[in-house]
């Protein structure tokens, strides 16, 4: 899952996040919409706005504003939204989703604490291009695309947000095909938040009923009584091992070069990459793809130790390619979870895209000039 959004920093401790998109797989086709309370704990991935023209071309389809787009981290609510829509489509795992889930909110102040966020809202402005909250609400409702899940919880029944919640409700209930999970009487709906619906309250009878009816083919009452299993967020050990097996079978036909290949190792396979790097795909632990040099000293830490082209490689792997690194993965320049991938072909395509990335072809002088341009851009952005 990747998270794209418009972001407005209001102060050191306050921000506004609007037009959030959860993107799965390679597609930017809309596969659903969800309306919730307010943005939670998701944070920007760095301070730099997205500049890649291919990404911007895809994102420009979602609104006609000139506001910059940012990539954000995922939070638990977003993961629960993924589970809910995987359930809608009848998938057993969220990694089978392919497309964009739109996130709308009753208000857009970033704070996981609902009461605190509502207080901040009194002093905060609106996203650019909107003069009144009503303008923003009209725009958001216009952009809703089925299937739509309304998950604003008890905030729907407060004096402050009731009218907005009713507007969303009427838009969905009066659509061409009324969703089976909604009661035509506004007051008789629970509007469970996905965090509760697919989390702590997943075994609540009402939660089971809502999830059973919020499906492309709603379940009958008899089927509901037999239980509704939730899709998984993580691949099982057997699924991870199956990916490695399929990968070892098909990689030669794609012209990939294996590195230190061991046919008796059924958990891990490594591939050569440009610039003396290797890409390791493993089912060990929770399963991940990792990038590091082909040769590193024993005990080497990419978090603490210096290495050739450190600044450039960190920017490329952690920034451009979307890998992550922390103290627990310090022997890698970056890692990415196997849960992002649906099958071996998706991994093959990912590795081919890595090897063909234009930044790998730059010579040292071009890399230095590229980094200087990035730093200059960041300084300009900070001073604005």
What separation in angstroms does the CA of 25 have from each of 22, 34, 324, 338? 10, 19, 18, 13
Report which of residues 290 and 25 the model is more confident about: 290
What separation in angstroms does the CA of 199 have from each of 92, 160, 202, 223, 231? 16, 27, 5, 21, 12
pLDDT band for 312, please (50, 70, 90 cuts).
Answer: confident
The dihedral over CA atoms of 60, 124, 151, 6, expressed in degrees to the nearest 10, equals 20
CA-based nearest residue to 18, from 38, 34, 32: 38
Separation between Cα atoms, residue 76 and residue 22, nearest integer Å: 13
Residues 118, 173 contacting (CB under 8 angstroms): no
Q: What is the pLDDT of residues 84-134, one digit of tens each?
A: 999 999 998 888 899 999 999 998 887 655 565 555 555 556 787 788 889
Examine the pLDDT at 43 and tell me if it is beyond 60: yes
Q: What is the pLDDT of residues 50-91, one digit of tens each?
A: 888 888 899 999 987 888 999 998 888 998 999 999 999 999
Prediction pTM value: 0.72
pLDDT band for 8, please (50, 70, 90 cuts).
Answer: confident
Residues in the chain: 384
Average pLDDT over residues 364-381: 70
pLDDT band for 182, please (50, 70, 90 cuts).
Answer: very high
Amino acid 163: pLDDT: 96
CA-based nearest residue to 148, from 22, 30, 34, 18: 34
User: For every residue of 14-62, which 3-state class applies, written as one string?
Assistant: CEEEEEEEEEECCCCCEEEEEEECCCCCCCECCCCCCCCHHHHHHHCCC
Percent of the chain with pLDDT over 70: 91
Half-sphere exposure (CA, 13 Å, Cβ side) for 133?
14
Average pLDDT over residues 244-250: 91
Examine the pLDDT at 373 and tell me if it is beyond 90: no
Report which of residues 321 and 24 the model is more confident about: 24
Separation between Cα atoms, residue 237 and residue 308, nearest integer Å: 36
Please, is 97 exposed, middle or buried when counting C-beta atoms within 10 Å of its C-beta (0-12, 13-18, 19+)?
buried
| Mean pLDDT over each residue of the chain, to the nearest integer | 86
Report which of residues 48 and 374 the model is more confident about: 48
- Cβ count within 10 A of residue 119: 12
Separation between Cα atoms, residue 282 and residue 48, nearest integer Å: 31
Residues 282, 337 contacting (CB under 8 angstroms): no
Residues near 124 by beta carbon (within 8 Å), at least 6 away in sequence: 10, 14, 16, 109
Bridge partners of 18, per DSSP, are 6
């Amino acid at each position: 899952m990747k998270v794209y959004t418009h972001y407005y920093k209001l102060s050191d401790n306050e921000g506004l996040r609007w037009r959030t998109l959860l993107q799965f797989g390679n597609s930017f086709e809309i596969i659903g919409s969800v309306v919730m309370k307010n943005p939670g704990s998701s944070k920007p991935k760095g301070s730099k706005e997205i500049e890649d023209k291919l990404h911007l071309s895809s994102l420009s389809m979602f609104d006609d504003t000139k506001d910059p787009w940012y990539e954000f981290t995922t939070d638990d609510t977003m993961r629960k939204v993924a589970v809910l829509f995987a359930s809608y489509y009848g998938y057993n795992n969220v990694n089978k989703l392919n497309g964009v889930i739109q996130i709308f909110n009753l208000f857009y102040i970033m704070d996981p604490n609902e009461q605190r966020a509502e207080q901040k809202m009194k002093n905060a402005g609106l996203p650019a291009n909107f003069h009144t909250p009503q303008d923003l609400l009209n725009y958001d409702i216009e952009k809703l695309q089925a299937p739509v899940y309304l998950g604003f919880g008890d905030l729907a029944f407060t004096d402050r947000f009731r009218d907005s919640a009713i507007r969303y409700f009427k838009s969905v209930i009066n659509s061409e095909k009324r969703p089976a999970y909604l009661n035509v009487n506004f007051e008789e709906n629970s509007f469970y938040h996905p965090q509760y619906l697919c989390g702590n309250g997943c075994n609540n009878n009402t939660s089971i009923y809502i999830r059973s009816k919020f499906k492309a083919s709603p379940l009958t009452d008899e089927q509901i009584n037999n239980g509704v299993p939730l899709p998984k967020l993580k691949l099982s050990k057997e699924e991870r091992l199956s990916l490695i097996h399929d990968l070892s079978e098909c990689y030669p036909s794609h012209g990939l070069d294996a590195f230190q290949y061991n046919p008796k190792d059924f958990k891990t396979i490594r591939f050569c990459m440009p610039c003396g790097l290797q890409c390791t795909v493993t089912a060990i632990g929770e399963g991940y793809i990792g990038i590091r040099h082909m040769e590193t000293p024993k005990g080497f830490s990419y978090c603490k130790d210096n290495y050739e082209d450190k600044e450039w490689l960190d920017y490329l792997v952690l920034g451009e390619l979307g890998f992550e690194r922390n103290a627990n993965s310090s022997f890698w320049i970056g890692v990415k979870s196997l849960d992002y991938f649906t099958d071996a072909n998706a991994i093959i395509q990912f590795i081919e895209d890595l090897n063909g990335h234009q930044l790998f072809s730059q010579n040292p002088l071009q890399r230095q000039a590229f980094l200087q341009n990035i730093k200059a851009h960041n300084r300009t952005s900070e001073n604005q």
